[in-house]
Structure 1
Amino acid sequence: MDKSTFEDDATIVGPMHARLPHDSAHKHVAGTADYIDDMPEPVGTLHGALGLTDRAHAEILEMDFSAVAAVPGVVCVLTAKDMPHSNDISSTHLHDEPVLADGRVQFHGQPAFAVVAETREIARRAARLARLTYRDLPPLVDVAEAQAAGGELVTPPLTLGRGDPETELQRAPRRVKGQMRIGGQEHFYLEGHIALAIPGEDDEVTVWVSTQHPSEIQHMVAQVLGVPSNAVTVNVRRMGGGFGGKETQGNQFAALAAVAACKLRRAVKFRPDRDDDMIATGKRHDFLVDYDVGFDEEGRILAVQANYAARCGYSADLSGPVTDRALFHADNAYFYPHVRLTSQPLKTNTVSNTAFRGFGGPQGMVGCERIIEEIAYALGKDPLEIRKLNFYGDKESGRDITPYHQRVEDNIIRRIVDELEASADYQERRAAIIEFNKSSRVIRKGIALTPVKFGISFTLTHLNQAGALVHIYSDGSVHLNHGGTEMGQGLYTKVAQVLADSFQIDIDRVKITATTTGKVPNTSATAASSGSDLNGMAAFDAARQIKERLAAFAAERWQTTVDNVAFVPNHVKIGDQLIPFAELVAQAYAARVQLSAAGFYATPKIHWNRSSGRGAPFYYFAYGAAVSEVSIDTLTGEYQVERADVLHDVGRSLNPAIDLGQIEGGFVQGMGWLTTEELWWDEKGRLRTHAPSTYKIPLASDRPKIFNVRLAEWSENPEKTIGRSKAVGEPPLMLPISVLEALSMAVASVADYRECPRLDTPATPERVLMAVEQLKRGDSPFQAP
């Protein structure tokens, strides 16, 4: 789409809802988008490197830095004792996450010291020369191992329930029990973690850091330094990817850079290499899901009990809310008449796992869809038939209450699925695939249609707030700042569109500026798919305030009423007169009208009581569905995604071009999580998949050969969101569950679809091959109890 097309679209629909390009798209392609490592370094900048431990669980008896200090160019070595006020950067009240290990190692690769030197290369090489003496302790590495050992929890578990599932499971005509292991995922950003700290006067420090949560970085740096938050300014212009991994994991790098900068009175930068970044920072939680489902002969679910155990790592981090959200989405789009869901956030001697796109929801949804598969194969039916039978209904049906007792009042999943089923020719293709599999000896095919229902809001209610600061300068140009961060998802562009639309000016008149704690304080992380919802509404509120002042000035100046003042493209219409926007602004400035405003927004209606497991934690739900077709080689386990069709609900899209990109990217990233991205720790707790050479993210050649993505253009958010839009960040990641289930169907074909192949994820070619061979031999370990 060329520039003129974008301009034409904005003219037709207005700046908001237009297919405008990402504000930095051309810079990304040209290499001119400035990231922190592209910034000119202040004179005398020093560089830091982490000193990683090589035990999974041990006491540190001695640390010998004599060889480190002898390296020319090394300026200092930091340990836990060098933290000025606090050695804690935990995001919870548990205070269980040290900046640097203090006497005890709790995972292999935990930073125990940091070397600061004249160059990054010197710091990295010197860090390897330290000699640490340990007393080894027994480690717990795997989630199943931790569960079997008694299951020490990193945070209190959650229980959601309704009805009497124990009794109804006993009464059910059919019943299936099973277990599924769901793998984790590395964030694998294009830009890794990085922080640059610059000391200022007195106790001040400015930190440039790649983070989704500037306010938390500000708080953590202040806490470690022992200074008030007003002494710390955190800036973020853009990130080269976030995906949740930069919600808390940047705390360590920012704190170390700030401590070193304030200690040495010189700018200090920390930028770990890819291996150290992957080893020392948290990932998506892997889960072990045990489920027990009762159903009738038609496939209608009567009762569900499920336990979601998660490998959380050595500290709590965000594991509590992540495992909570897994339960919030363990129903996906289906009504459970009787249900009991429990979380089990287990402590392990591995890196502390953290937020990742979907925040536990994808794991909850995968476990749910396995239940649907189990029922379908047990009854010899198409899983889609079972899905439709169990969809949430309307209030009159009594089938609209979630396990956490929130009503599903905006349910459009049946329309989404029916439209996609028809447009993707699902029934005809499924019949053709079954016929193909009858005669094909080596290549087998599979197809699946899976839905997505995803709740939008932070489940910690107070995080659902945002601020924005808007200035109009006397020449009519607009300055925009808000608490959201740009990680490539187009948030800055969307919020700029909101302002341009509010003032009815061209978007190039809106200047997008770096997120900074010095302008908008106490912001929430850009997470939970809420960036556009929260910051868009905050910017809209700021614009509303300024427009009211301008309208009042215009009404007084031209002797009319406010009702006769209207903002139209690049002008303000006052009665019958048309005044250029910039001219009105100049006159308002001369008349001493305030042309700046701080906007604020807090999401209404939501509430949640964790102790009772009841409430309405989500403002609304986003919906979607995908049909995926795969082919597998039964001799090698290799497979290809032949085609994927997606129909996704974003309400009334703020920017269809950006939203389509988010859906496509989310699908491919989710497909990688479920198929190729395998994290593997050895028996000593060492992460062995810590570089592109050992960890396989999807390539361009792995995308579906045919990839059809459409927006549900008829959808409009019934709730009062910005432009009646819906969130788009996280929900698309769960669409490729259809790929996993298509692989399952292809595997099941070798045993005439009599068994549900319980493929663990990631469903690598090795796992696919083993599943095929086990079904061929008839000795499958997948038999349901």
Structure 2
Amino acid sequence: MRSLIDINKSNLADTSQSSVGLGGVGRSKKHESADKHVSGAAIYIDDRPELRGQLHAAVGQSTMAHANIISMDLSAVKAAEGVIAVITVNDVPGHTDIGPVFPGDPVLAIGKVEFVGQPLFAVAATSHELANRAVKLAKVEYEELEAILTVKEALAKQSFVRPPFSMVRGDSDKAIASALHQISGEINVGGQEHFYLEGQISSAEPTEEGGMSVFSSSQHPSEVQKLVAEVLDIPLNKVVVDTRRMGGGFGGKETQAAPWACIAALLANVSKRPIKFKLNRSDDMCMTGKRHPFENNYSVGFDKDGQIKGINITVNGNCGYSPDLSDAIVDRAMFHSDNAYFLDQATVTGNRCKLNTVSHTAYRGFGGPQGMMTIEMVMDDIARYLGKDPLAIRKVNLYGTDDRNETHYHQKVEHNKIHELIASLEESSDYHARRESVSEFNRENTILKKGLALTPVKFGISFTVQHLNQAGALIHLYTDGTILVSHGGTEMGQGLYTKVAQIVAEEFQVDSETVGVSSTRTDKVPNTSPTAASSGTDLNGKAAQAAAIIIKDRLIEFATEKYEVKASEVRFANSQIHVGTDTFSFADFVQQAYIGRVSLSATGFYKTPKIHFDRATGKGRPFFYYSTGAAVSEVLIDTLTGEYKLLRADILHDVGHSLNPAIDIGQIEGAFIQGMGWLTTEELVWNDKGRLLSNNPATYKIPAISDAPIDFRVTLVPDDPNREQTIYNSKAVGEPPFMLGISVWSALKDAISSVSNYTLSPSLDTPATPERVLWAVEAMKANQ
């Protein structure tokens, strides 16, 4: 059995491109901060030296899930050791609501609280410890109100953060009724804590003329800039937000980094001193949103082969107390309720349920994974009903061509190669031989059971909100031939800076080591979109390329005028510029251009073409293209305890023309393990008063290295350029592989189903902890 390291080495050898330029697009290169990450030299916000007079912030938190605030006595807080400033919402000079899209997120509580942990007031003190000690001295009197703590309660009371919405294709009710077979089912899909290594943190320093300089661990610096300006009631040009790197984000720092930056800025404005606001881990987990838990159900009609004729799907998202990004997140769950399958007659309805918990937010996949879970359950349930291999049911329902290539939101699935990808993975993973082996093992063993599953992923790439699909970049070319790039994307460990440097180096045909990428700053590139939706490289890479081409064209024009040659006689290669019969080093020619008064700085801009969606009709093209992949997972369960082990995982994923195979494979591995964690070990638990109990690493289990499969095989589809004009014809890789973890959940169900000799389809809510696996096994035994 090959080791994980050996497997990855072979993958990198297999997927490196044979024809790459000096810039290195298509070549495996290590992350630009890899050495700093492993040595501890990478500077995060908490590593920045303290400024003179710097104070530390903390917030007082609600102890009630839903209540009116009768009184709030902060006298003891103000008198506490080290306390310099205390503010409530009454001290906010500007906007008090910092909702990212729709209102509903007060920066500090206004008259009532809607979840346990909601910030009531903020304190600035001389140390982190003293600030956190002081906030506990507040005396708050509440009038407790009825709290809604389950999705079923919210549905019964029609408690929504946004109105319900449906996408319709054909007459699904009629198609279901007229089909040969009908079944229905439901599933509870648990949420997920982001558990970034670096928690939420911001620092704010007052600047001249009432401005504010902010360092924020944020995926969306421009939104932090806007909201800080609004709460302070100052123009945006007086606020500068800087983000060099995050220690992980996964969506948790897209909108929910902003409150802490706003509070730090408010305290800095009052105290006229720098403020650092760092959340303790347990506070972070209680006060910030998670992946949305969902409760979904379906009814489906199908024929003797298992092909779906009609289907109704309802996805009910637990949004928490406010809209945040829930409207778009539930929309994406609806968009991806088909996954890779053609739903001819379909109605997909999404409810955005309001509960008295923390407001849930973006998380890798942005609702897509929760939507896909239902249709994958449908495939397994149909298979057990008909006594077939679930893979056979999946294959008969895949998108095809001509009359089987339009989604339930009326977008054509173009350039579809999912059939070929699955066939290739079937062969490389020895799926059918292993299926026989697993069945034989299960016939011979009564206690230990194996399960095997192959599940595909088709994931749409683009923000579903059209205006976010834009990006800018700024390039400076210096007289020594080095290059500095600024762009609107943020680096959270995913390798965006590395890829952008490779792209710029490729355009100029120089070594990527000569390209530096500066921190993301709102005074360098304005009005940026969040680094999310797997679009970081697609958008910012294209913008950086556009800026590079502008400068390159200027250099060519200068060469043609100075040396009286045609533009076709000017070539960039091997860190040199060839002008007719003359050859110059890149640095020498740049120096010539500077002497010739050529502008060596340029901005670039990119907006994604083709995309549109009419929400009123539920029709359009919300995605520029689809990213596809598939995974085969094999598990072993103990039917006496519910414990299990992932024995082997085979992944084949399409990234188009890979910009950097090493980084892409790392993203796929990490996404798969994180997706597996979401569906197996990561359990969020609230008590009957709305208090989060799984609020620290001792009560919340993310996957450890021991949970990874011993045999882990990750392969990129051999160089298959994206048919759409993306950056160097690559495909996004951030989110799509996350959903490959569904294969682990499906394999667990396969193992449980073997207890009934595959005649029953188990009900297995997620996360599929050992307890839930054991309960499902016992249910199989009871129903035989």
Q: Same fold (TM over 0.5)?
A: yes
Match of 1:729 among 730, 734, 737: 734
1:458 to 417, 440, 463: 463
| 2:294 aligned partner, one-letter code | F
Question: Quick check: 1:246 aligned with 2:230?
Answer: no
Secondary structure at the aligned position of 1:441 is classed as: coil
What amino acid sits opposite 2:58 in the alignment? A
Q: Distance in 1 between matches of 2:668 and 2:20?
A: 25
Q: What residue is the counterpart of 2:554 in the other structure?
A: 549
CA contact (8 A) 1:660 1:710 kept: yes
8 Å contact 1:10–1:18 — kept in the other structure? no
Please tell me whether the aligned partners of residues 64 and 130 of structure 1 are also in contact (alpha carbons under 8 angstroms).
yes
Quote the residue 1:133 is aligned against: 141
Gap runs ≥5 in structure 2: 1-9
* Structure 1 position 6, deviation (Å): 13
Query: CA RMSD of the aligned region, Å?
Result: 1.6
Task: Say whether 1:361 aligns with 2:368.
Answer: yes
- Percent identity between the two aligned chains: 53
Q: Deviations over 1:484-526 (max 9, x none)?
A: 0000000000000000110111111111110000010011000
| Aligned-pair CA distance for 1:150 | 2.2
Conserved in 1, the CA contact under 8 Å of 2:15 and 2:719?
no
Which one-letter code corresponds to 1:697 in the other structure? I
The 1:58–1:16 alpha-carbon spacing in structure 2 relative to 1, beyond 3 Å, is same
Contact 2:576 2:584 in 1 (8 A): yes
Spell out the pairing of 1:616-695 with structure 2 (5 A cutoff): 616-695=621-700
Deviation at 1:146, TM superposition (A): 1.6
Equivalent position SS for 1:420: helix
Q: What aligned pairs does 1:280-295 form with structure 2 within 5 A after superposition?
A: 280-295=287-302
1:49 aligns to what SS in structure 2? strand
* Alignment pair present for 1:376 and 2:383: yes
Inter-partner Cα distance in structure 2 for 1:555 and 1:6: 39
CA distance in structure 2 between the aligned counterparts of 1:615 and 1:552, rounded to whole angstroms: 42
C-alpha distance in 1, partners of 2:104/2:612?
28
1:14 CA drift (Å):
4.4
8 Å CA contact 1:6, 1:21 repeated in 2: no
The 5 A counterparts of 1:202-221 are 202-221=209-228
State the one-letter code of the partner of 2:108: L
The answer to whether 1:271 aligns with 2:278 is: yes
Aligned-pair distance for 1:4? 14
Task: Determine if the alignment matches structure 1 residue 42 to structure 2 residue 47.
Answer: no
Return the offset for 1:157.
2.4
Q: How far apart, CA to CA, are the structure 2 residues paired with 1:611 and 1:265? A: 48
Given the alignment, which residue of 437, 445, 470 partners 1:440? Answer: 445
Partner of 1:604: 609
Question: In 2, distance between residues paired with 1:590 and 1:715?
Answer: 44
Give the Cα–Cα distance (whole angstroms) in 1 for the partners of residues 387 and 355 of structure 2. Answer: 40
Per-residue Cα deviation, 1:149-196 (whole angstroms, up to 9, x for no partner): 322110122211111111111101100111111000000000000000
- The residue identity in structure 2 corresponding to 1:457 is S
Counterpart residue type for residue 356 of structure 1: Y
1:133 counterpart letter in structure 2: E
1:573 is aligned to 2:596: no
> Which consecutive residues of structure 1, in runs of 5 or more, have no partner in the other structure?
780-785
User: What TM-score comes out, normalization by structure 2 length?
Assistant: 0.97
Cα deviation 1:4-26 (Å, max 9, x = unaligned) = 99999897774111101100011
- Residue 85 (str. 1) matches residue 94 (str. 2): yes
> Counterpart of 2:176 in 1: which secondary structure?
helix
| Native 8 Å contact 1:10 1:19 kept in 2 | no
The 8 Å contact of residues 17 and 719 in structure 2, kept in 1 or not, is answered as no
CA distance in 2, matches of 1:74, 1:699: 40
Figure out how many residues of one structure are paired with residues of the other and give that number.
Answer: 774
- 1:583 matched to 2:583? The reply is no
Counterpart of 1:383 in structure 2: which amino acid? P
Distance 1:427 1:239 in 2: 43
**Runs of 4 or more off by more than 4 Å in structure 1?**
3-14
Q: Which of 389, 392, 398 does residue 391 from structure 1 map onto? A: 398
TM-score by structure 1 length?
A: 0.97
Please list the CA deviations of residues 56-107 of structure 1 after superposition, one character each: whole Å capped at 9, or x if unmatched. Answer: 0001111111221222211111111111112111012x32110011110100
Contact 1:335 1:392 in 2 (8 A): yes
Output the amino acid matched with 1:302: K
The match for 2:597 is 592
- List per-residue Cα deviations over 1:91-146 (Å, max 9, x = no partner): 12x32110011110100111111111000000011111111111100101111222
Compared with structure 1, are the counterparts of its residues 261 and 335 closer, same or farther at alpha carbon in structure 2 (3 Å cutoff)?
same
Q: 1:106 aligns with which of 108, 114, 117?
A: 114
In the other structure, the counterpart of 1:783 is none
> In the alignment, is the contact (CA less than 8 A) between 2:15 and 2:718 conserved in 1?
no
Whether the 8 Å contact between 1:456 and 1:727 is mirrored in structure 2 is yes
The partner residue of 2:84 within 75, 81, 91 is: 75
Query: Deviation per CA, 1:338-390, whole angstroms, max 9, x where unpaired?
Result: 00000000000000000000000000111110011111010000010001101
Give the distance between the partners of 1:441 and 1:338, measured in 2 at CA.
Answer: 42
Instruction: Give 1:115-126 correspondences, 5 Å limit.
Output: 115-126=123-134
CA–CA distance in structure 2, aligned partners of residues 345 and 371 of structure 1: 22
Amino acid corresponding to residue 17 of structure 1 in structure 2: G
Q: How does 1:5-16 map to 2 (within 5 A)?
A: 14-16=23-25
- In structure 2, how many angstroms separate the alpha carbons of the residues matched to 1:777 and 1:374? 18
Which of these residues, 141, 146, 167, is aligned with residue 174 of structure 2?
A: 167
